[in-house]
Structure 1
Amino acid sequence: MAHDAVGRTYRETVRPAAGEVSFQVVVEESDLFVLAPADLSREAVDVVRELRGQIKNHMLLHPGFGESLVPVSVSDSGPEVVRRMARAGELCGVGPMAAVAGTVAQMVAEALHKGRGDVVVENGGDVFLHSSRERVVALLPDPKGGSRVGIRIAPDRFPLAVCSSSGRIGHSLSLGCGDLVTVLSKDAAFADAAATALCNLLRDGDDVQRVLDRAQELVPAGLEGVFAQCGQSVAAWGDLELVAVG
């Protein structure tokens, strides 16, 4: 499935709250956008480098880990980032790399948070939020049209992950044709893998109900809410509140 190119211009619409700063962290292919109480970019770079090194080393020793589109088992002695990705893939029936962006976002947020205040990390559309205030995460099913709807998240929901997959935009692999599937969960690795698995089901608008049905089956694994869009068919289910943005 050919994807439309999408840049990072959506980040220009983010406005840090009082007492927050925003900064970008780029390490090889990883490109993160962070909101934090201070410029923690040096610490964030160190964390990203460490996580990427652990993933790359594991892929060298276990080539199937990076190539598989189905779940892959990982030893309990493997790096935590690799184990989180593998577990998410097993829960959702996809390869571990389907969870890489969400896993990195959460582990960077966890490292930067440490009682310092609110931290939000976005990694290619996958977001993990430690927040004490209400947040709105905008959805982008059509890069040319911009964001028109978002998910409002109350303070008592955090920490929370909001991860998305698309068969039309971005560079990540999707086997479906849907515009967007977004999943809410406490676990970003799971949310990322679930968004991929659910988006794989979208071939046309009639498949939106299949996505909702499958999403409800994933609730015991940690799914809290889902948004799906394919053409003119839009649906949402679970604990989420949609609001107009833009």
Structure 2
Amino acid sequence: MDYLERTYREQHRQEDLVHFQITVQETDLDIGVRRERFSPELVGWIEETIRACRKPLEEYIRQDPGFLKALVPYGVPEHAPLIVKAMAEAGQSAGVGPMAAVAGAVAEWVGKAIVKRSRDVIVENGGDIFIRSTRLRKVGIFAGNSPLSNRVALEIRPEQTPLGICTSSGKVGPSLSFGKADAVVVLSPSVALADAVATACGNLVQSEEDLERTIEFASQIPGVSGCLVIKNERLAVWGSVKIMPMKV
């Protein structure tokens, strides 16, 4: 299947950036930075940044295994690591378990670190994206077997960034979803929140009739700036989302 080879990554790569992949255990990132900022040293530093991001999360899960398994909002103590609290808060807002936000939370942590070294940054983690840009960007949408897959894209303006662009699907990818959406895309300044809400929205879509209530649900969550849902040949959109043809 295509998603196993992560061919969808071609939909967000930018010609003016150098893209490269770094894998640390389960974390598999596609990263884009400005050409003049790329170096083997930067790659090594980002790998260490990923390890530093994962370490407190891994240690917390060992102490509190319920955090890993929860499929509903899960409380954590005030002294929990920042990434753990961010995931728990995102899950609480979306009505899902904290691990629904893990890919977005990691992308955001790593992306914000890289921004200190490159003004343009894209970090993609399993379909969940952190983007910071000084120019207009076009991010394509992969929606499995839908006729709209790879045909529509999001236009992202510099003033919208830093921004989280997170995708959930009931048909594509290994992540858990109880729905049947071809793609749900959620935008938020918080990548962890966008990730959790995309999962929650994806769970709501069983048929084409569910598109309207899904974007209505997303619109009620503070911090969410936009939502797009694709099911078969239908598309619904709400908020600060500008769509355009993938190829012009």
TM-score (norm. length: structure 2)? 0.92
Unmatched 5+ stretches in structure 1:
none
- Counterpart residue number, 1:8: 6
Query: Offset of 1:67 from its aligned partner?
Result: 0.2
Counterparts of 1:143 and 1:87 in 2: how far apart (Å)? 33
Asked if structure 2 preserves the Cα contact closer than 8 Å seen for 1:4 and 1:170, the reply is no
Equivalent residue for 1:156, pick from 156, 159, 166:
159
Asked if structure 2 preserves the Cα contact closer than 8 Å seen for 1:176 and 1:202, the reply is yes
- Counterpart residue number, 1:106: 108
Matched, 1:211 2:214: yes
Query: Offset of 1:5 from its aligned partner?
Result: 4.7
C-alpha distance 5-154 of structure 1, shift in aligned 2 (>3 A):
closer
C-alpha distance 44-143 of structure 1, shift in aligned 2 (>3 A):
farther
SS of the counterpart of 1:200?
helix
Matched, 1:180 2:178: no
Matched, 1:22 2:5: no
Counterparts of 1:64 and 1:175 in 2: how far apart (Å)? 20
User: Identity over the aligned pairs, expressed in percent?
Assistant: 39
Residue by residue, what CA displacement relative to the aligned partner does 1:1-52 show, whole Å, maximum 9, x if unpaired? xx9854212334655444x321111111111011113132211111111222
Equivalent residue for 2:99, pick from 97, 105, 115:
97
**Partner amino acid, structure 2, of 1:241:** K
**Partner amino acid, structure 2, of 1:8:** R
Counterparts of 2:26 and 2:238 in 1: how far apart (Å)? 33
Counterparts of 1:86 and 1:14 in 2: how far apart (Å)? 28
Counterparts of 1:143 and 1:43 in 2: how far apart (Å)? 38
Counterparts of 1:77 and 1:26 in 2: how far apart (Å)? 29
Moved over 6 A (4+): none
C-alpha distance 68-153 of structure 1, shift in aligned 2 (>3 A):
same
SS of the counterpart of 1:169?
coil
Equivalent residue for 2:44, pick from 42, 51, 75:
42
Asked if structure 2 preserves the Cα contact closer than 8 Å seen for 1:43 and 1:112, the reply is no
Asked if structure 2 preserves the Cα contact closer than 8 Å seen for 1:178 and 1:230, the reply is yes
Matched, 1:117 2:119: yes
- Counterpart residue number, 2:246: 245
Structure 1, 62-71 or 229-238: larger mean CA deviation: 229-238
Counterparts of 2:12 and 2:2 in 1: how far apart (Å)? 22
Number of residue pairs the alignment of both structures matches: 241
TM-score (norm. length: structure 1)? 0.92
Query: Offset of 1:232 from its aligned partner?
Result: 2.3
